[in-house]
């Protein structure tokens, strides 16, 4: 198995400015990323407003042929059921965002610059929040507002929803805000210039040409929307401020943002852009008067969004040289956080806040961020107890047959865990074939499989592995609907299935390898030589030499188990300490892969208290 992880992208809005730029960036960087990060990025689904294409091996814009709709795109994406999938929405469509909850619940993560989802009405936002496991509303200090997995929302999915580019394009605005909140800081005030268009307009408006001409020049340069009223009315800025407010726990609606509309009232009902500019020209005197008033006081005009004391408002303000926004130039955005820690000198983020290149780069960064978040990163020691209490802890046991996977799985059922036995599920799937032989039970599955030198072996081995893959996919699909802690008792041959199954196992659970000691391997070898039992070889059987091949199989499997485990527990650590089920859990929580084994009973009390909580 390759150490390289696959990442599968479904991109909608693929021929738009941001979508097409993102695709070019991925094509340019994917070889470097494969080499440096062991990550194979594949675009397996593409769509624009008219056509779409799907292929597990990869697609390009040239493959767009099939008639497109968001319903069919999501349907095809779900039916493909590819692990490590990310839906990338590069549209501004409200129809697409309605599908977000369905996509997230299918364990498909989302990255998007589409700000309409997070600035939609509270009903839609709450629905999305629950699907994405976003904690909405005020939260205790230090907990943060967003937790993309295993949060208070008790999500039914393991997917992530990242939207850094919603505010400030490629600028790290939302991640910085959440870092402040997660670390226990308190936000006192946010001030921001959140429109590259309006930043350019007012940074360029020095009185040398009329205001209407500055706006027209911005349109020619491509800074404005096709209809500049969509920039000047402040709604786009209001959406961004609303997102910032919700990130801090203030559950506001768009109508709660007090927004100054810069479109003169007489020009708002213009039937065309040309008519709008004609009417805007008549207002040049008004804009010149407010610019002139600011200039006389050594100030400049700036369209600023403010969040302070549960109030959100957007105003065209006159600011002096002492204001951190005074030096703003071009079309840059700027955000200032005044907090308990950054009270006298606010934390300021400044840079390009618009443009296809920086926005696509921000989406690309979110995609890589999702790919880098594996289950072991989510199960820090503090979270272990939290998931245990909430009945959201999923453990997978891997290792050789007879090492104790089933034994410990059954032990954990005493603590309320659900035991999922992969052997039993496969046995049921093979039931009809076993019946034909007058057989049943896992021992008879082995007899049906046969020995590697027998004629039917290759065919039966392939069928068994196909059933094992099918079994694991069914477990992944159904596991999120369970409302209890779960232990997955895997087969010894799980490391011989395709690598994406093992990646999905890590995505859904904490994978624990029960390591076979050398003395036990020797005993297993002697027993096998005396009584060779059928097993999955997967290219490890060579030269018709059963004994030599079995030794190689043991070593190869041991290497693969370690490679794909989050934690490795040597067998002797369990046996020598004669652990009970509570102490076994404690051993996992203490993470033996990074810490030496502490006498388990010394630290059992903490977990035992939580077990009492679970079983009440």
Give 470-520 as a DSSP string.
HHHHHHHHHHTT--S-EEEE--TTGGGS-HHHHHHHHHHSEEEEEEPPHHH
Mean pLDDT, all residues of the chain: 83
The two structure tokens encoding residue 500: 């994406």
Question: What integer pLDDT is reported at residue 453 of this predicted model?
Answer: 80
How many Cβ atoms from other residues are within 10 Å of residue 152's Cβ? 15
How far apart are the C-alpha atoms of 74 and 109, rounded to whole Å? 13
Percent over 70 (pLDDT), the chain: 85
Percentages (nearest 5) of helix, strand, coil residues in the chain: 50, 15, 35
The answer to whether residue 88 scores a pLDDT higher than 60 is: yes
Question: What integer pLDDT is reported at residue 45 of this predicted model?
Answer: 96
Q: Determine whether 297 is exposed, middle or buried from the number of CB atoms within 10 Å of its CB (0-12, 13-18, 19+).
A: exposed
The answer to whether residue 147 scores a pLDDT higher than 70 is: no
Question: What integer pLDDT is reported at residue 571 of this predicted model?
Answer: 80
Confidence of residue 350 (pLDDT cuts 50, 70, 90): very high
Determine which of 99-108, 254-263, 303-312, 476-485 has the lowest per-residue pLDDT on average. Answer: 476-485
Name the maximum alpha-carbon separation found in the chain: 100
- What is the arithmetic mean of pLDDT over 305-319? 95
Question: What integer pLDDT is reported at residue 436 of this predicted model?
Answer: 64
How far apart are the C-alpha atoms of 61 and 282, rounded to whole Å? 46
Question: What integer pLDDT is reported at residue 438 of this predicted model?
Answer: 54
How many Cβ atoms from other residues are within 10 Å of residue 431's Cβ? 13
Dihedral, 321, 323, 326, 331 alpha carbons, nearest 10:
180
Confidence of residue 592 (pLDDT cuts 50, 70, 90): very low
**What tens digit of pLDDT does each residue of 428-466 get?**
888 776 666 555 555 566 677 778 788 888 888 888 889
**What tens digit of pLDDT does each residue of 246-264 get?**
999 888 999 999 999 999 9
Question: What integer pLDDT is reported at residue 378 of this predicted model?
Answer: 39
Residue 345, CA atoms < 13 Å, CB-side half-sphere = 0
CA 401 to chain centre: 34
The answer to whether residue 193 scores a pLDDT higher than 70 is: yes
Q: Which domains does the chain have, with CATH numbers?
A: 5-167 (3.40.50.720), 187-354 (3.30.360.10), 379-615 (3.40.50.300)
Q: Cα separations (Å) of 47 from 10, 69, 107, 126, 340? A: 8, 9, 20, 27, 46
**What tens digit of pLDDT does each residue of 271-284 get?**
999 999 999 999 99
Question: What integer pLDDT is reported at residue 189 of this predicted model?
Answer: 96
The two structure tokens encoding residue 555: 């070593």
- What is the arithmetic mean of pLDDT over 68-87? 91
CA dihedral (63, 96, 103, 256) positive or negative? positive
Determine which of 231-245, 351-365, 400-414, 589-603 has the lowest per-residue pLDDT on average. Answer: 589-603
Confidence of residue 140 (pLDDT cuts 50, 70, 90): very low
- What is the arithmetic mean of pLDDT over 218-247? 93
CA nearest to 575, candidates 567, 564, 587: 587
The answer to whether residue 154 scores a pLDDT higher than 70 is: no
The answer to whether residue 603 scores a pLDDT higher than 90 is: no
Q: Token pair 């002139």 is at which residue?
A: 292
Question: What integer pLDDT is reported at residue 401 of this predicted model?
Answer: 84
- What is the arithmetic mean of pLDDT over 148-154? 30
Confidence of residue 144 (pLDDT cuts 50, 70, 90): very low
CA nearest to 253, candidates 238, 263, 236, 232: 238
Long-range interactions of 262-271: CB distance < 8 A, separation 24+: 262/198, 262/232, 262/233, 262/234, 262/303, 262/316, 263/229, 263/232, 263/233, 267/229, 268/229, 268/233, 270/229
Percent over 90 (pLDDT), the chain: 48
The answer to whether residue 51 scores a pLDDT higher than 60 is: yes
- What is the arithmetic mean of pLDDT over 409-438? 83
Confidence of residue 132 (pLDDT cuts 50, 70, 90): low
Determine which of 95-109, 190-204, 321-335 has the lowest per-residue pLDDT on average. Answer: 95-109
Question: What integer pLDDT is reported at residue 188 of this predicted model?
Answer: 95
Q: Which residues are catalytic?
A: 240
- What is the arithmetic mean of pLDDT over 324-347? 94
**What tens digit of pLDDT does each residue of 353-375 get?**
778 899 999 999 999 988 875 43
**What tens digit of pLDDT does each residue of 13-24 get?**
999 999 999 999
């Amino acid at each position: 198995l390759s150490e390289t992880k696959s990442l599968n992208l479904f991109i909608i809005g693929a021929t738009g400015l941001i979508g097409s730029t993102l695709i070019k960036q991925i094509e340019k960087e994917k070889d470097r990323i494969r080499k440096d990060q062991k990550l194979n990025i594949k675009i397996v689904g593409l769509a624009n407003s008219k056509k779409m294409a799907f292929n597990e091996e990869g697609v390009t814009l040239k493959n767009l042929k099939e008639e497109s709709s968001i319903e069919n795109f999501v349907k095809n994406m779900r039916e493909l059921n590819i692990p490590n999938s990310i839906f990338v929405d590069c549209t501004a469509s409200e129809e697409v965002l309605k599908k977000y909850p369905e996509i997230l619940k299918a364990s498909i993560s989302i990255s998007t610059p589409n700000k309409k989802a997070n600035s939609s009405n509270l009903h839609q936002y709450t629905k999305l929040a629950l699907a994405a496991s976003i904690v909405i509303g005020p939260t205790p200090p230090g907990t943060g507002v967003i937790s993309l997995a295993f949060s208070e929302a008790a999500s039914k999915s393991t997917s992530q929803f990242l939207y850094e580019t919603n505010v400030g394009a490629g600028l790290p605005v939302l991640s910085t805000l959440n870092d402040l909140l997660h670390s226990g800081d308190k936000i006192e005030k946010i001030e921001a210039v959140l429109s590259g268009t309006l930043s350019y307009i007012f940074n360029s408006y020095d009185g040398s040409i009329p205001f209407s001409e500055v706006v027209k020049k911005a349109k020619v340069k491509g800074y404005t929307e096709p209809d500049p009223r969509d920039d000047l009315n402040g709604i786009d800025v209001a959406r961004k401020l609303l997102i910032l407010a919700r990130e801090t726990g203030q559950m506001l609606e768009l109508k709660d943002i007090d927004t100054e509309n810069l479109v003169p009232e007489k020009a708002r009902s213009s039937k065309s852009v040309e008519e709008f500019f004609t009417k805007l020209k008549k207002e040049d005197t008004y804009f010149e008067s407010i610019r002139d008033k600011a200039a006389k006081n050594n100030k400049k005009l700036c369209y600023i969004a403010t969040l302070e004391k549960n109030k959100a408002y957007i105003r065209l303000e006159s600011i002096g040289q002492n204001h951190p926004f005074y030096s703003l130039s071009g079309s840059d955005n700027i955000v200032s956080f005044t907090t308990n820690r950054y009270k006298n000198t606010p934390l300021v983020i400044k840079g390009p806040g618009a443009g296809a290149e920086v926005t696509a780069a921000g989406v690309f960064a979110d995609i890589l961020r999702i790919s880098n978040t594996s289950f072991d990163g989510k199960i820090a020691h503090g979270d272990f107890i939290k998931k245990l209490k909430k009945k959201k802890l999923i453990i997978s046991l891997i290792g050789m047959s007879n090492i104790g996977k089933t034994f410990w799985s059954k032990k954990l059922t005493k603590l309320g865990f659900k035991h999922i036995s992969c052997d039993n599920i496969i046995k049921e799937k093979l039931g009809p074939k076993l019946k034909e032989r007058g057989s049943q039970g896992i021992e008879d599955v082995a007899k049906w499989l046969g020995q590697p030198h027998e004629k039917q072996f290759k065919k039966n081995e392939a069928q068994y592995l196909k059933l094992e893959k099918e079994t694991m996919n069914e477990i992944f699909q159904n596991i999120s609907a369970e409302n209890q802690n779960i232990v997955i008792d895997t087969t010894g041959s799980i490391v011989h299935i395709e690598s994406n199954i093992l990646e999905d196992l890590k995505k859904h659970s904490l994978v624990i390898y029960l390591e076979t000691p050398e003395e036990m391997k020797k005993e297993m070898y002697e027993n096998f030589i005396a009584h060779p039992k059928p097993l999955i070889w997967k290219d490890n059987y060579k030269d018709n030499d059963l004994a030599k091949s079995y030794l190689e199989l043991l070593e190869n499997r041991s290497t693969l188990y370690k490679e794909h485990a989050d934690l490795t527990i040597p067998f002797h650590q369990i046996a020598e300490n004669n652990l009970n089920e509570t102490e076994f859990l404690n051993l996992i929580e203490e993470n033996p892969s990074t810490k030496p084994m502490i006498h388990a009973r010394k630290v059992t009390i903490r977990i035992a208290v939580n077990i009492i909580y679970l079983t009440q």
